Amino acid sequence: MKTVSEIRKLKVNNYVIVEDEPCKIVDISTSKPGKHGESKARMEVIGIFDGKKRSIVNPVTHKISVPIIDKRTAQVVSIEGDEVQLMDLETYETFNVPIPEEFEGQIEPGAEVHYLIAMERKKITRV
């Protein structure tokens, strides 16, 4: 799911969709309007799921897709290799997600973790 927003309304730490990948904005800079043009915004973004840095330049009035981010809490049910099975604490739905590199060795069965859902993909964000 996604919505649309003008670039001028976005701030650092907001999310946008670039190349069909939900990304977090790490830097925004705008230039002054030229003689025959309008202000341009340069955004530096990092993909939530792939970790790639991207850079885009568009007029500040340009509309860009913004993903709907759902942040939730889950309990670790089991660990199977490099994947972990989680149970959502609101819906009691169980699902598997890969363990991010930064949390390897920190996740134990029974522990609570925070995760996010963006564009029907899930990722652990905090242990």
d(CA 54, CA 33): 24
Task: Say whether both 41 and 12 belong to one domain.
Answer: yes
pLDDT tens digits along 82-121: 899 999 999 999 999 999 888 888 888 999 999 999 999 9
Task: Say whether both 81 and 28 belong to one domain.
Answer: no
Are the C-beta atoms of residues 9 and 72 closer than 8 Å to each other?
Answer: no
pLDDT tens digits along 30-62: 988 877 788 899 999 999 999 999 999 999 999
**Sheet order of strands, 94-98 included:** 94-98, 83-88, 70-80, 112-118, 121-126
CATH number at residue 36: 2.30.30.30
Task: Say whether both 37 and 81 belong to one domain.
Answer: no
Task: Say whether both 61 and 6 belong to one domain.
Answer: yes
pLDDT of residue 35: 76
Q: Is 74 exposed, middle or buried (0-12, 13-18, 19+ CB in 10 A)?
A: buried
pLDDT of residue 70: 92
**Count of beta carbons in the 10 Å neighbourhood of residue 80:** 10
State which residues form the domain around 82.
70-126
pLDDT of residue 33: 83
Task: Say whether both 57 and 88 belong to one domain.
Answer: no
Task: Say whether both 32 and 76 belong to one domain.
Answer: no
User: What proportion of the chain, given as a percentage, has pLDDT over 90?
Assistant: 74
User: What's the pLDDT band for 81 if we cut at 50, 70, 90?
Assistant: confident
d(CA 47, CA 18): 8
Say how many domains are in the chain. Answer: 2
Task: Say whether both 43 and 74 belong to one domain.
Answer: no
Instruction: Quote the tokens at residue 117.
Output: 């859902």
